[in-house]
Structure 1
Amino acid sequence: MQTSFNFFATRRFLPLFGTQFMGAFNDNLLRTAVVVLISYYGLSFAGLPAEQLVNLAAGIFILPFFLFSATAGKVSESFDKARIARLVKIAEIGIMLLAGSGLYLHSAGLLLGALFLMGTHSTFFGPLKYSVLPQYLAGQELVGGNGLIEMGTFLAILFGQIIGSLMMHHGPLIASLIILATALTGYAFSRAMPSAPPTATHLKLSLNVVGDSRRLVQSAWHINGVRSAILGISWFWLLGAVYTTQLPTFTRLHLGGNADVYTLLLGVFSVGIGAGSVLCAKLSRGRLELGLVLAGSLGMTLAGTDLSLSALPLHHGPLQDIATFLQGGRQWHHVIDLAFLGFFGGFFTVPLYTWLQTASPEAFRSQAIAANNIINGFYMVAAAIASALLLAWFHSIALLFLIVSLVNLLALGLLIRGAPIIWETRFAWLQR
């Protein structure tokens, strides 16, 4: 059986893909614009220094994932998912009007409020985008659908970060028009999403978000496949948070590249994830191949270790632009390592998302994905704390990358211990 992407242009997939792409793109447009305003245009709030305000903005965006994921999972289960998508996108238009006002007035308060609301928007769309796939796609199309969604997400993140930075050089009016146009485009895509009927209309919403979140995670933990998939996905997001957060400084201190070189490397990493996600779906041939998780994890360790060891010394001298940077063979070595790091990340994550969907009972699927989002958030916070402690100790980002690459083997061992099927099917994808 061969994996085909013929469903991509159909109504049961393309509108969802476009809605998801535009949402992730707008997330990163807004977040990058706020960081640029803080870092280069003097945006301030409550007397906080720039570096603390950047961290506050990041925390405000991720906070809704902790607060509202349980509610989002119930909502996605209880109502037609296409209708929810349209309501979420209407809300996004209002959020972008608020953000545009913040950009025009240079108001940190309005922009931080918009970031919180956009995080809430993403919290409610997250369970929907993965749980609706099994309703839209046939079983043999599911791995391919996940691969395309993963590819689209990381390309949207990349383009959002690049354009979000560039648009601030053209003034608040242009920036406001771009984020509003993106929201309107996302809404237009959502209008074409086919109906996806509710799967659990008996669920009751509650204001006890802490209790709901605890019960949700406990329920997910009792389903073996769901628990293992969540742990694997969350570990991937921890690794991703470490690499993407530290990459700008790593590029400057260890590789000697300027901001344009950082953008290039971020692009290589993101395109690598997209390519790996699509090839993983192709190699799966329409089946869930958990053996590819093993290949992906080992590939990430090899690429991450090689990148770390080849970049241990600090750079001395002026920073290089892209043309100068790419003249040296050693620098191409780093580019290839980052490409393979992203590529094998795609191998690692696509089967796990598919497993999360297929291991979840239909009436619990959105809630399982909401539980995954909660645990993802905790792992990303843990990544920030652990990185800060290790950097305070070693004062080397290359050593930090080396440590997480090696710890990845321990994480893989624990994942296999909890889900032996990953090891048992390690060569199955080569034999079919």
Structure 2
Amino acid sequence: MAQNQFKLLGTRRFLPLFITQVLAVFSRNMYKNGLIVLLAFRMAEEESNTLINIATGLIILPYFLFSSLAGQISDKFDKRKLIRIYKLAEIGIGIVGIIAMFTQHYALSLVVFFCYGTSSTLFSAAKFSLIPQQLNRSELLAGNALIQMGAFIGTLTGTIVGTILVGFTHPGQHGLTFIAVILIFTAVIGFLASCAIPKAPPSSPKLRINWNPVAHAMRVMYLAWQTPPVFYSIFAISWFWLTTTAFLAQIPNFTRDTLGGNEDIITLLLCCLTVGTALGSLLCNWLSRGRIESGLVPLGAIGITCAGLALGFQSSSFQTLSNANLTQFFNHQGSYLILLYMTLFGIFGGIFTVPLYAMIQDRSSAEIRAQIIAISNMLNALFMVTAALVSITFLDILKISIPKYFVIIALLNLIVVTLIFAKLPEFIMRGLLLLPARILYRASQKGLDQIPREGPALIISNHISFLDPVILADTVERYVRFIAHPKIYKSRLLRCILHMSDAIPIGLDLDDPNSRERTYKAIEESLDNGELLCIFPEGKISEDGELQPFLKDIEEILRRKSVPVIPIALHSADAQDENSAQQSKKKSKRRLFPEVLVIAGQPVESINTDSESLQKKIRDLKKKE
């Protein structure tokens, strides 16, 4: 069962980092949006548009310039000390920003924008690589969910507060003073919170800094490519930011031209999107039972596409209002659906991204984790810029309406994520298992942390039902490739799952004498590639729950390759009931949602064991319950 993720907020391992993150995002967005509103309303339209575009670019530019350096520094030095330095620097940036706003020195304000972007670039690499260093693996998904929630809440509140306070900057009003006080106060509190972060020793203290960002980025991407889940998770996250930016950037024009609403409607839509993303992030821990569950990624991807399509089609039939306020908008037919689809877009966005961040942190080597995260940030920025170019192409050159543009982006999202999932079937397989696994049975587990987190290994399990591959694929966090007996492989019930998991059939063609030899070679090749395999050595389902004789193939498999072998025993509450003294009565009361217990034993080397020894180990595990 998933633990209450909010308990992390009561620990020193997480709370100071969370406070530091939220306040940094809040103050940066308050200043940014406050200044943008000032530029928009205090300058000529052409001048303000130019400065706003330059300001937006200066916030993103540091991600291209300094992400490579940020990752290397975070791996080389103590992350706690680095975060303190970054937060102390933000106090100085805030002071300069206040001076720029009071003196209306817009060139200096642009420098402040660049400095805030640089601080964010450096802090992001340290922050995301610090999370797996401070939290247990079982807390990783919950920690990322809370950080994601905090980031979006900080963005929303900072945007709203900055916009509101700038409205009180006319002669005799004190809006700028309030902004100054809040900016310095949050920066100081953020620095004090960073001082409470526990020590975070460097993961690669002997690292030599590579000052060539392009060469270093290529090297890190090559290292990430050697771990496909990390590599494709990076691209999936970057694509999400392209999609989100494509929608988010159009909200002002969408509100004005399609909905016919005023500035209050813009704020309302931004609230729906932000709150939705925060809710989706928090839902991840519940949906995944607190584990790093890649199966949530397809669910999020499909939800983003469906919400985007629904928003596009609904808004295309929306009767445009005329500078409507909130009351007029709410009284108009279809308004609530617009808000619902915008919220759902955010919810599924949170479900999509949180597991991806957790997978990158969990499966990256600790020595280069911060560097991989930093390069991911660089790609995110590149894709966000690409989103602007895509918007210009469709909206300005091709003259496509914004609702149609939403539909196009939603369909593009489906195509791109499908290509990513095709390269990494783990996403689809675990996604297909997610709902059946939550509906068909109730599973609990013991000792599965003994399964190696990486590298070749072989699971040996007893076989009590056709659901066993589903149960193991769901409860074991690593991607499992099954070795299936022909009767199981040809089962209509399991054929889809086994094909999706690229199962290896044992001697599928019984008339071909070389069929089994091809199977053994396929198993060797899979283990050479560092995969986790699973075999049910009984070859058939045990009707009474007792272990059946193992097939002769298991001896040959054990002999050919030296890898860790993990015995696993599956227990069914129904099977235990049926073996009781009141067997006939219990059969009529078979549970609709059976309880299954998965117990893993100590790993043994394959060359140091045999089928009889493994059978005894599994039998002993079954006796424990």
TM bin (shorter chain):
over 0.9
* Residues 39-59 of structure 1: per-residue CA shift (max 9 Å, x gap): 112289xxx632222111111
**Which one-letter code corresponds to 1:341 in the other structure?**
F
Instruction: Quickly say closer, same or farther: Cα 1:339–1:312, change in 2 above 3 A.
Output: same
Instruction: Select the structure that is richer in helix.
Output: 1
SS at match of 1:426: helix
User: What amino acid is aligned across from residue 388 of structure 1 in structure 2?
Assistant: I
Alignment pair present for 1:63 and 2:61: yes
Q: Give the corresponding residue for 1:275.
A: 279
Worse-matched range after superposition: 396-405 or 306-315? 306-315
> One-letter code of the match for 1:197?
P
Equivalent residue, structure 1, for 2:109: 111
Alignment of 1:13-24 (within 5 A): 13-24=14-25
* Residue aligning to 2:403: 398
User: Structure 1: which amino acid aligns with 2:22?
Assistant: F
* Secondary structure of 1:311 counterpart: helix
Deviation at 1:174, TM superposition (A): 2.3
| 1:381 maps to amino acid | V
* Structure 2 residue aligned with 1:375: 379
Moved more, 292-301 or 310-319: 310-319
The structural deviation recorded for 1:313 is: 4.9
Question: 2:428: which partner in 1?
Answer: 423
Between the aligned partners of 1:429 and 1:195, the Cα distance in structure 2 is: 37
Deviations 1:377-418 (A, max 9, x none): 110010000111100213411111110001111011111012
Matched, 1:229 2:233: yes
User: Percent of aligned positions with the same letter in both sequences?
Assistant: 37
Match of 1:121 in 2: 119
CA distance in 2, matches of 1:418, 1:357: 20
- 1:2 corresponding residue in structure 2: 2
| Contact 2:318 2:334 (8 Å CA) reproduced | no
2:77 to 76, 79, 97: 79
Structure 2 residue aligned with 1:213, among 214, 217, 239? Answer: 217
Could you say which residue in structure 2 is the equivalent of 1:42? 43
Return the letter of the residue paired with 2:80: A
Once the two structures are TM-superposed, the CA of residue 26 in structure 1 deviates from its matched residue by 1.6
Segments of 4+ moved more than 6 angstroms: none
Give the match for residue 287 of structure 1.
291
**Unmatched 5+ stretches in structure 2:** 170-175, 438-442, 444-625
Query: What is the count of residue pairs matched by the alignment?
Result: 429
Distance 2:107 2:49 in 1: 17
Deviation at 1:343, TM superposition (A): 0.6
CA contact (8 A) 1:289 1:428 kept: no
| Cα offsets for 1:221-247 (capped at 9, x unmatched) | 333121111011001111111111111
Counterpart code for 1:254: T
- Counterpart CA distance in 2 for 1:152 and 1:429 is 27
5 Å-filtered alignment, 1:233-382, equals: 233-313=237-317, 316-382=320-386
Q: Matches of 1:10 and 1:123 in 2, distance apart?
A: 26
SS of the counterpart of 2:316? coil
3-state SS, counterpart of residue 170 of structure 1: coil
TM-score under structure 1 normalisation? 0.96
Q: What's the counterpart of residue 412 of structure 2?
A: 407
**Equivalent in 123, 135, 138 of residue 137 of structure 1:** 135
Q: Deviations over 1:207-233 (max 9, x none)?
A: 333333333333333331211110110
Q: Which moved more, 1:22-31 or 1:81-90?
A: 22-31
Other-structure match for 2:147 = 149
What are the Cα deviations for residues 55-77 of structure 1, in whole angstroms up to 9, with x where unaligned? Answer: 11111111000000011001111
Indicate if the aligned counterparts of 2:141 and 2:358 stay in contact, CA closer than 8 A: yes
CA distance in structure 2 between the partners assigned to 1:418 and 1:43 by the alignment: 50
- Name the larger-Rg structure: 2
- Larger strand fraction of residues: 2
Given that residues 39 and 52 in structure 2 are in contact (C-alpha distance below 8 angstroms), is that contact kept between their aligned partners in structure 1? yes
**Cα distance between partner residues in 2 of 1:270 and 1:254:** 21
Whether contact under 8 Å (2:137, 2:362) holds in the other structure is no
Q: Which residue does 1:170 correspond to in 2?
A: 168
Distance 1:115 1:138 in 2: 36
Q: Deviations over 1:340-367 (max 9, x none)?
A: 1101111101110111111100111111
The answer as to whether partners of 1:277 and 1:343 remain within 8 angstroms in 2 is yes
Mapped to 2, the partners of 1:288 and 1:213 lie a distance apart of 27
Between the aligned partners of 2:133 and 2:423, the Cα distance in structure 1 is: 28
CA RMSD of aligned residues (A): 1.5
Q: TM-score, normalised by structure 2?
A: 0.67
Structure 2: how far apart are the matches of 1:20 and 1:206? Answer: 28
**For residues 222 and 51 of structure 1, do their structure 2 counterparts lie closer, same or farther at Cα, with a shift above 3 Å needed?**
farther
Q: How many angstroms apart in 1 are the aligned matches of 2:190 and 2:130?
A: 17
The 8 Å contact of residues 37 and 43 in structure 1, kept in 2 or not, is answered as no
Deviation at 1:316, TM superposition (A): 4.2
Q: 2:241·2:383 contact (CA, 8 Å) conserved in 1?
A: yes
> Following TM superposition, by how much is the alpha carbon of 1:314 offset from its aligned partner in structure 2, in angstroms?
7.1
More RCO (CA 8 Å, sep 6+): 1
Structure 2 CA distance, aligned partners of 1:206 and 1:227? Answer: 21
